[in-house]
Amino acid sequence: MRNYKSAVAAFLLTSGLGVGGLVAKEDVAASLLQDLAQAEDERAADRLERQVRQEWAKSGSASLDLLLKRGQDALDVDDVEAAMDHLTALTDHAPDFAEGWHALALVYYRADMFGPATDALERTLALNPQHFGALRGLGAILEQVDKPDLAYDAYSRVLTLRPHDSDVIEAMERLEGRVTGTSL
């Protein structure tokens, strides 16, 4: 029995699936998200958001991290086709990696493919319900396809996670009259 436990532990450690590592990663992200929700100003929120995104971008596999980076780099230079290739490969190989789906959603959005972008954002949120970037993207798409109530709801969920997001606050103000009606 002891050899079996040792073999399982060795497998988990060498495959990057060590239970302690996964828990530690989730604990770090959860702690940062808590700090982000309580940030006192936008500057602190921006710093915490970068740290959260860095944690979320860690797949646990160097090759998967490389696919994510290559996809993001391609998107940064507007090579949508290359970005889509890298990120589709990433989501094919790591369907439970939320950040891969979020990056793929950005590519679809950039290509004006709102249906696939929405699907990828929903996958992201199924895997990571606190992904404020996915909620923000979902809100933007819903606003563009003229679903102001749903967009407003998505944006309000962003603000529970990141209350200093000035773009989201502006979007909510823009939608408020359409969603809540105007009082006379």
The string of pLDDT tens digits covering residues 59-92 is: 999 999 999 999 999 999 999 999 999 999 999 9
Q: What is the pLDDT of residue 101?
A: 98
Q: What is the pLDDT of residue 122?
A: 97
Any idea which architecture 60-127 has in CATH? Alpha Horseshoe (1.25)
Q: What's the chain's average pLDDT?
A: 86
Percent of the chain with pLDDT over 90: 76
Phi-psi region of 147 (alpha: psi -120 to 50; beta: other; left: phi over 0): beta
**What does the alpha-carbon distance between residue 32 and residue 148 come to, in Å, rounded to a whole number?**
30
Higher-confidence residue of 31 and 4: namely 31
47-85 as b/e: b if 16+ CB within 10 A? ebbebbbebbbbbebeebbebbebbbebbeeeebebbbb
